[in-house]
Amino acid sequence: MAVTTEDTARRQEALEIWSGTKSKSFFAPLLDTFRLLVHDGFALVGIIIIGLFLLAAIFADLLAPYDPFQTLKTAEGGLARLQPPSAEHWLGTTAFAKDVLSQLLIGTRVAFIVGVSAAVVVGFVSTLLGLLSGYYGRYVDDAIMRMTDFALSIPTLPIAIVAVAILGPSLRNIIIVIALLFWRNGARIVRSVVLTEKEKVYVQAARAAGASHTYIMLVHILPNVIPVAFLWMTMSIAFAVLAEASLSFLGLGDPNTTSWGQMLNIAFSTGSIRTAWWWVLPPSLCLVALISSIYVVGRAYEEKTNPRLRRS
């Protein structure tokens, strides 16, 4: 097996870490990649858009001009139903006299709660199973991969609809269902990276120096898996946001909150989806903008971490 300069350097690093003369940060690869991302124009735009949505989600209560469930009235005392955009209601009102802008801002928070929560669970499960499967191999690998194959055979949206319908429409149940359905591909991706990393010289050097399996996995292999796991977590946020919007559009959203999919569902059920453009376009455009931005950043991140995709 040919030994490259990189292998030699990483073998020396492994020995230094094992001997205690050098420490290694788990998140060093992530920090290096983030520094590269800011020099990518498309990724920078995506990061800015995601940042704006995140700020809107954090300060939704302060930015929302009305309570999203408040029934509004006109100056004459009637219900402010299907009012077009105006100085008083920047994005107009719904068929039930609710302020569209207020609902849109609260919906941004719901999108991030579902997206980030589901992505963290998906990332943890995918990384854990992929790490164990790739490192130990044999029976452990067979058991985990057969379980993954079975999970991959399950159709995502139909099962999500049935599961949420049985468990009940709530954000917690939606997050649980999404997390249970989206770990599958991530586990395979992480496993493939672990299979490559565990055969490299620096890992063999650590093993020869007497490092335990747990130490090798956590200190030497995991830091090199984190960028790939983080990429899958990033993509999982987009999957989760889209899945929540789909379930809410089908009437399975949490009735105690407001989400973008729920706004579209109510607009459709009241027959306003073709006439009240100010009610339909904002959540639709927000979904497109947020999901597209996440994909752009994820693609740029993949390009920076995968030498085969780097542009010359």
What is the tens place of the pLDDT at every residue in 113-161? Answer: 999 999 999 999 999 999 999 999 889 999 999 999 998 888 888 899 9
| 261-293: pLDDT as tens digits | 999 999 999 988 888 999 999 999 999 999 999
What pLDDT is attached to residue 20? 43
Residue bearing the bigger pLDDT, 179 or 2: 179
The domain limits of the chain are 93-309
Domain 93-309 grouped into CATH 3.40.50.460: no
Measure Cα distances from 277 to 64, 68, 97, 268, 284 in Å.
Answer: 20, 18, 15, 11, 10
What is the rounded radius of gyration, in angstroms, for the C-alpha atoms of the chain?
A: 24
Note whether 145 and 209 are within 8 A (CB). no
Partnered with residue 79 across adjacent β-strands are: 73
- Residue given tokens 């006439």 in the structure block: 275
Query: Is residue 177 a contact partner of residue 160, using CB atoms and an 8 Å limit?
Result: yes
What's the pTM value of the predicted model, to 2 decimals?
Answer: 0.82
**Three-state secondary-structure class, residue 74:** coil
Question: 42 Cβ partners below 8 Å, 6+ apart?
Answer: 296, 300
Q: d(Cα 286, Cα 203) in Å, to the nearest integer?
A: 45
In the predicted model, what is the mean pLDDT of the chain?
Answer: 84
Question: 227-253: per-residue pLDDT in tens?
Answer: 888 888 888 899 999 999 999 999 898
Amino acid identity of residue 11, one-letter, is: R
Q: How many CA atoms lie within 13 A of 88 on its CB side?
A: 10
Measured CA to CA, the distance from residue 131 to residue 152 in angstroms comes to: 18
pLDDT digits 0-9 by tens, 51-82? 999 999 999 999 999 999 999 998 888 898 99
Helices 277-305 and 260-269: crossing angle in degrees, nearest 10, is 150
Q: Region 208-212: what's the mean pLDDT?
A: 82
